[in-house]
A = this chain, B = another copy of it.
């Protein structure tokens, strides 16, 4: 159950020495074909890292042979020299695999504003190339961890094909760690256009719905590669459903491993005029520091929910808002509902449902609370 679960993929993860603590820091995932269909989504941050700029050019033709990923350095805000480092990495991988650098995606994660130790990294590429195996997915998932406490993998089986994946990111809580890197693989037969369409749809309901602290990385990259090794042309609905399942699984693993979280919060907005409205409202609530500290304090403070909802441009009548926390409708018609004392927030999982009474669309988003540990981990990280 990893990127090497589908046929046609080999991977490896090694400690190349980029991280000075001896942990794994270099991963390589290779598509052995017969197809090289691929799609990728990158951070929307205009301050994007060198590997993002480079990988955008690689994916433009819808083909990719391999993804090389390093932890231990984001290679962001490193100027032309940093971009040259990314190109050199891709070229070395291509050379070892007997392919073109223009078919090698590069991902980096770690601190912003520092150059990568290139000699170490390139020597690592030579070594990792020798270790590629059909069960290397777990090692690869370990090699992309930064402040993650567990490696994150997932898979799903379709009719004659499978989908695998790995992700890193400690809850999207530290963008300069290039929080979210995801590699998805499948042995289904997909055209590049299909891969792109499936991936975009899956993003919409999974990684785009994880919003731990509203911060956006310079390095976020999500890649889908299809080898076609099963020779199966999948049913589109089934494939989409399975890909959504794998990506939602990975997304929830990111939240579950979020730095410093004491509650995992699922925010569902129902009866919205549009899915966009539903998502906007959920995202705004998920970004309210006051709401998030209240949940940390086991306080079902619905006033902080409705005051966040009230700042959005979503369609709703302010007098019609209902808020239900862990099954108790504490706010009804934007006024006092059931007693807040009835809400039990002692567990780790929290559900918040917001009813806009404005239509029949809905959206779910996952976030975490704002805790002392969050402040500690994020204030102490680089100092």
Contact = CB atoms under 8 A, between A and B. Distances in A.
A290 interface: yes
A157 B297 CA distance: 46
Nearest to A74: B303
A77 B306 CA distance: 9
B176 A301 contact: yes
Interface in A35-83: 44-48, 74, 76-79, 82
A303 B77 contact: yes
A192 interface: no
Contact of A303 (B76, B293, B299): B76
Nearest to A53: B318
A379 B294 contact: yes
Contact of A310 (B46, B297, B308, B310): B46
A335 interface: yes
Contacts of A336: 77-78, 113-114
Interface in A295-311: 296-299, 301-304, 306-311
Given A46-B311, A47-B318, A335-B79, A290 B174 contact: yes
Q: Give the oligomeric copy count.
A: 2
Contact of A307 (B218, B298, B304): B218
A21 interface: no
A48 B309 CA distance: 11
A47 B176 contact: no
Contacts of A79: 319, 333-335
A370 interface: yes
Contacts of A310: 45-48, 216, 218
A307 B375 contact: no
B175 A290 contact: yes
A interface residue count range (under 10 / 10 to 19 / 20 to 34 / 35 or more): 35 or more
B299 A375 contact: no
A203 B293 CA distance: 29
Interface string A273-315: 0000000000000011110011011110111101111111000
A114 B339 CA distance: 12
A47 B290 contact: no
A93 to B, nearest CB: 25
Contacts of A182: none
A113 B335 contact: yes
Most buried by B among A76, A304, A307, A379: A307
Given A218-B307, A370-B375, A380-B297, A290 B45 contact: no
Interface of A: 44-48, 74, 76-79, 82, 111-114, 173-176, 213-218, 287-290, 293-294, 296-299, 301-304, 306-312, 318-319, 321, 331, 333-336, 370-372, 374-376, 378-383
Given A214-B289, A215-B304, 12 more contacts: A45-B310, A46-B309, A48-B310, A76-B307, A77-B334, A113-B302, A175-B304, A176-B290, A215-B289, A215-B307, A215-B308, A289-B370
